[in-house]
Amino acid sequence: MSELTRLTLTAAHEGLAQGHFTATELTQAYLDAIEAAGALNAYVLATPEKALEMAKASDARLASGEAGPLEGIPLGVKDNYAVEGVRTTAGSSILKHFVPPYESTVTANLWRDGAVLLGKLNQDEFAMGSSTETSAFGATVNPWRREGSSAPLVPGGSSGGSAAAVAAHLAAGAAGTDTGGSIRQPAAFTGTVGIKPTYGRCSRWGIIAYASSLDQAGPIARSVNDAALLLRSMAGHDPKDSTSAKLPVPDYEAAVGGSVKGMRIGIPREYRVDGMSGEIASLWDEGAQWLRDAGAEVVEISLPHSKYALPAYYIVALAEASSNLARYDGVRYGERVPGRDIVEMYEKTRADGFGAEVRRRIMIGTYVLSAGYYDAYYVRAQKVRTLIKRDFETVFAAGIDAVLAPATPSPAFGIGEKSGADPVEMYLQDVFTVTLNMAGLPGIAVPAGLSGEGLPLGLQLIGRPFGEEALFSLGQVIEEAAGRFTCPDEWWR
């Protein structure tokens, strides 16, 4: 690992500003690291020429005193963000040759602020998965391994490529998306920090949709402060997205290190679920004590409808996915498989272009929206969603400032371990994360310890709507108490 790639985003930003190294030198160090890390399969497409061109432009702006907030910082971007002129596939064969002629709003914001594109990062196909095993480009491998074992582990999903790249020092930070935990769960599995902002805080325009009422963009980074810097650039109102919130973007970095004295933190009793690892339960208790020691008040709360969140989420998300993915029919763009008539062309294109998990989710989503089942499944799930949202509103109205919970029910598992015959086993990975998406709330995952096998474990903080600043203050308390976590070796080089 180069000394330059060891730097946090915050330290790299300071080093560039002080002239200790150039953006071109920093970018080249990351490109060299990416080239040496093919075994991780974190990137589906590296863009070295574009990266060096952008770095050169950053050096010119740094020299002229016109540097942006992320000037010269090399980032990876999940492959469901449209980047103009760069292949964008959402991890699917059906889009394997798609090159968008437009730029997503979030990536446009990053380039506006001076960031450098290193390439596109692997993900579960159309963001449908919790392990990055459903990608048409093959699974991404977690840079972490169990102590004494060389068995490959998953990095989580669907933003597994983003999390693996940040953890392995193949990017200073990364843009991910979170529909039911797809930023927070991979962050917890890789010892990185990931934040899903409030729904509407970041524009969804130009992001390939999975479930439109749940999808939200957000960053994965190596520290709480790094995540704050990235979110400040990613967030903002966008007239092209009707769900984008017309609110000013705070200075999130200023909230990092802020006092948490007097904050009331809720511990939901319903989150102590069967099958949760004892290590995670004890870490949860330890995290609560860290917050008490910092001056916060920790109280038990009830979120009674949380137990229905997972099935309700998979009904809502899959129904929206079946509608969103109807556009991939071989007619307008994407791959096309010829048939005898238009119906056969549709059938062959979608059967050949979509992987097994995507086909499964489309079929379930279409079923719950079909005549005779719409009221029984979809309408009922939306009613449960309202009750979940109301649970959070009730505890926030009672004076709770944030909720502390585990991010995942276990540490990272082996590749192939949960992708067998029963998909429900994989879906249960989202048990602690989906409630936030259903309620549209912000949540941050912060590494808080290591398992007995030496794997990262994360805690999750859930905030009030547009209360990301409080999450950064609380997240910093956990980071300072637990320390930061780096892979003990670089076996992939």
- Look at residues 475, 463, 474 and name the one whose alpha carbon lies nearest to residue 435: 463
User: pLDDT per residue over 418-461, tens digit each?
Assistant: 877 678 778 888 899 999 999 999 999 999 999 999 999 999 99
Amino acid of residue 430: D
The CA distance from 99 to 109, in Å, is 20
Average confidence (pLDDT) over 51-55: 98
Residue pointed to by tokens 């009707």: 242
The CA distance from 55 to 38, in Å, is 23
Q: Which residues of 265-296 are buried (b: 16+ CB within 10 A; e: fewer)?
A: bbbbebbeeeebbebbeebbeebbebbeebeb
β-strand 116-121 against 297-301: which pairing, if any? unpaired
Residues annotated as catalytic are 78, 158, 182
**End-to-end CA separation in angstroms for the chain:** 9
User: Radius of gyration (Cα) for the chain, nearest Å?
Assistant: 21
Average confidence (pLDDT) over 143-152: 96
Going across the sheet that includes 116-121, the strands are 43-46, 116-121, 74-78, 173-178, 216-221, 193-196, 443-450, 456-463, 402-406, 264-268, 297-301
Domains of the chain: 3-262 (3.90.1300.10)
The strand pairing partners of 76, in sequence order, are 119, 174
The CA distance from 309 to 382, in Å, is 10
Omega cis (within 30) before 158: yes
The CA distance from 286 to 269, in Å, is 16
The strand pairing partners of 218, in sequence order, are 176
**Share of residues in the chain with pLDDT > 70 (%):** 99
User: pLDDT per residue over 242-295, tens digit each?
Assistant: 999 999 999 999 999 999 999 999 999 999 887 778 899 999 999 999 999 999
Q: What is the pLDDT of residue 421?
A: 63
The CA distance from 228 to 257, in Å, is 11
Residue pointed to by tokens 């990876």: 76
- Look at residues 211, 213, 212, 181 and name the one whose alpha carbon lies nearest to residue 196: 181
β-strand 116-121 against 74-78: which pairing, if any? parallel
Task: For residue 478, give the H/E element and its range.
Answer: helix 468-482
Cβ pair 371, 413 in contact under 8 A: no
374: CB partners within 8 A, 6+ apart: 368
Cβ pair 165, 43 in contact under 8 A: yes
Average confidence (pLDDT) over 19-43: 98
The CA distance from 136 to 44, in Å, is 10
Lowest mean pLDDT among 55-64, 122-131, 267-276: 267-276
The CA distance from 280 to 408, in Å, is 8
pLDDT confidence bin for 1, thresholds 50/70/90: low
Amino acid of residue 305: H
| Average pLDDT across the chain, whole number | 96
Q: What is the pTM of this model?
A: 0.96
Amino acid of residue 24: T
User: pLDDT per residue over 157-192, tens digit each?
Assistant: 999 999 999 999 999 999 999 999 999 999 999 999
Average confidence (pLDDT) over 457-480: 98
Distances (CA, A) of 112 to 71, 118, 134, 355, 437: 9, 16, 33, 35, 28
pLDDT of 207 above 80: yes
Distances (CA, A) of 231 to 124, 201, 217, 284, 468: 23, 9, 9, 26, 10
Average confidence (pLDDT) over 29-47: 98
Please state, as a whole number, how many other Cβ atoms lie within 10 Å of the Cβ of residue 138. Answer: 12
| Alpha carbon of residue 191 to chain centroid | 13
pLDDT of 415 above 60: yes
